[in-house]
Structures are given as structure tokens and as C-alpha cells.
Structure 1
Amino acid sequence: MEPLEIPVETITSEVIEKCTTPLSDDHDEKYGVPSLEELGFDTDGLPSAVWPGGETEALTRLERHLERKAWVANFERPRMNANSLLASPTGLSPYLRFGCLSCRLFYFKLTDLYKKVKKNSSPPLSLYGQLLWREFFYTAATNNPRFDKMEGNPICVQIPWDKNPEALAKWAEGRTGFPWIDAIMTQLRQEGWIHHLARHAVACFLTRGDLWISWEEGMKVSVLPANVAWLYFEELYTFFYTFYIYHQVIHEIDA
């Protein structure tokens, strides 16, 4: 594999000020982003956004992340607790997902900081673990046109899933009767994000854990591109066979 190219410099306000583009008087009317009200959504009582969008927010969060030099220098996998399931002010995954943050920029920033703190030592592979998983599954999807389908997928186990629209709807709407699962699906619907262990839990519940419904149906509700959750829990990749069960009694937050 060839070395990664260094990402281009981030566009600054100074650069933008030097650019001029003529706009028509009706530009915003034709091309502006419509509000939620204009799209027909009821916004009464709607809480503020948990994940403000855009590159500026993404870069601000990245800088906050990199301020924790001791964490970068002595990296170890974070220990889970109840608060881990809540959105973090330094969380980056939605920004990587929507292209607000360049994965290459993240990689090089981490590498540069680690070498400065550790005096030119090479960073451990574990520092990039989650980022590498993400890119690996994007790569797998690129080389497999049937990646998001079971039938005709050469690397997918063919399983006779159940057809149960009622159970699927209850799962998607957080009405299964299992508090742990319902809380996760409610968070996903309200915030658009859930912790990766929560993704594992709801994917397992839908597929081979409880409902025996196809992961393809789950992807219609929550598409997890380049994410291992659906693949683990319906055993798409047989060589990654793992049988994780997350115990809701141990991990659920006290009411």
C-alpha cells in the first residue's frame, strides 16, 4: 500500500474573502437550504441540535481532541461506563461520516502530535483502530457491488430470515418492550447518533439475537456505512466470527 498523501490545507476565512462570486437576487430562494418548517416538520418543543453540522464545528472538535496530549501519548482503548452512551462534545464520528472532517487530516494530525510528544516514535496501530475499521469496510464495499445485499453476495452467509413487519416496526420505533433496545432506538431517532456498542446491541437484537429479521431491513432504518455492526451480527464475514452479548442490566443507566 502506498503512503497516504498529505491532505490539502483547510480553507480559511482569509482565503474566502479573496473570492467573489456574482449572485442573483433570487439565489437564496432558488438554492438556499430550506428550514424544517418549510419542509413540513413540526418544530414545537424541538431540542437544540446535539451535533451542530459543518466543517468549522468538525475542526473545532478535532482541536479539542488533540489538546489531550497525554491521552494521545498513552493511548488505550476507552473504558465503557453509562455516560459513554451519551453524545460527547469532542465526538467526531458524525463529522467523518458526512465528510465534514477529512479522515486523512485526522490521521496526520494524530500522527504528528504523537511523534512530537513521544519524540518521533511511531504511533501504535491501536491509535488508529476505529478509523482503520471504517476505511476497511468502505474498501470492502467498493470492491463488492452486492455489499449491501445478501443474495448474490459472495462473502455473505445466506440465511432464511423471518418476515415480520410488525416486529420490525416496533424495533424501528423503540417499542419492543426491552428498555435497553428501545432507549437506543429512541436516541437514534432523536439525535441521529448512537454509540458503537449500542449499534451492536440493536443490530444483534434485530438479527440473530432475538427477532431473526434480515440486516437488510435494519439498514433501511439505520444505514451504517463502513460499520461492522450489521456484519458482525448476521455473520456476513465468517472470518470475523464473534459472539458478543451486551448485558443491559449491567450497563443500563439508572432512572
Structure 2
Amino acid sequence: MTPHPRPAPATAHALVLAPVTAGWDGGAFFTPVIRTLVGAGLRVTVADTLALWDEEVTTLAGLAARWLEVLPTFGPVDLLCGNALGGAVAQALLPSLDPATAALLVSGPARSDALLAERLGEIADLAAAGRPAAALDLLHRRVQPEGREPDGAAEPGAGADAEAGRRLAGGLRLLAGIDLTEAVRAHPGPLLQIVGARSQLVTRRHTAAAPHHRVHAVPRAGMRPHFDRTAEVSAHVGALLHEKGLR
């Protein structure tokens, strides 16, 4: 009897939702994590979260509703990833996903508080007042670990123009007053939330998790722990993939 060849296993698919950026950077915001995902054999799709935003969308729920409408066009998603605003939208989508879907969140708040709203509001107000360069500079300072002086340009390659100001103001304001705790804790699938232990913006207190989920605060890292402590973050991402059976 001639054995029939077994079909090759389908490649697992990771969908990444972006943070608020002044202009679309093609996924550079998540480069270290994307490298880890691709290295594990996943197919990665990176999406500009604000691509579905306009001035008619004034709440995170409104933006998440638009993403829910287009989500089927991406095909099956085994791992939903989100960074900052993208992480918040990803968590809002959890109740509508396959229960087995894994979630990877990097500095993605499940809930806001007065301090986070104030700090994001300062940046948004500068952008809305026609001062996108000042808004980008303040954002650059806020994403550093607390106590570290920023080095380099505010956001390489991003033009501080009216469209940048529009994206910054509109996107950052969507994070004020959110509380996705119930949606996150009800998700039965694997979930990993990574934050910087010295973040000036999203911290452990802005996260939510069920007992089977994991929250990891990266020592000495700020709002971008995947750049501040790449090897440590990559190790935790690898552990999530192993737990989900994606590597």
C-alpha cells in the first residue's frame, strides 16, 4: 500500500495592531517581536490601527466595532497582538474571537486612570493645537523609562505635519476612561501582557488578567519594553507560543 502524504500543517497567523503613530511606519514599531514571531514560523500581518479611525469615532468601543467588521478579511487569527492603542483594541475584540485565540499585548492598557489620561491628554492637546512637533517630543519623552533622558529624534521618519497632529490627538484620546477588565478576564485562551516596570504611561495597574493569564513587568523598561529589553521580551513571547503550540 502506498502511504498518502500528510498535508503540511497550516502556518499559524499572527495579526498585529499598531499603537498611535504620527504616520504609518510599516510595522517598525514592533520589529523585535515580529522577528521573534517570524523566527518561530508564524505568518505575521501588521495593521495600522488608526486606518479605520476618523473624527466620527470618539471612543475605543467605536474603533473596535469597525475592526470587528473587517476582522474576517484577515482570515483565521491564531495570535492577536497589540501595542499600546492596538493592545487596547485587541482586548476589546476578545469576546468576539475564537475562545482559543492567544493574545499578546505590549503596553496595551485594559483600563485607564486619571494619571494616564492626563499624560496622554497633554500630548493630544499639543497635537490638536497645531503643535505636532511638540506633541511628538513629549511623547518621545514619555515612552522612555522613568529617569532616562531621551536620545535621538522624537520619531524617526515621521513628519510633524497636520496629519500627524490629527492622528496623535484623535488616537491618544481614545484611551481615556476605558475599562476592558471584564472582557479580558473572561477570555479563556492564553494571554500575555508585557509592560515596562518603569513606564511613565501604561503600567501593571493598567492591566487586567484572569488567573490563567500572565502579566510581566520588564525591569528597567519603559513604554517600549520590546526595544528596551529585547531578549527578555522575546523569551516571554517564545513561552507564550510554546503554551499555545505555535512553535
TM-score range, shorter chain: under 0.3
Greater relative contact order, per chain length (Cα 8 Å cut-off, separation 6+): 2
**More strand by percentage:** 2
**More helix by percentage:** 1
TM-score (norm 1): 0.26
Larger Rg, first or second structure (1 or 2): 1
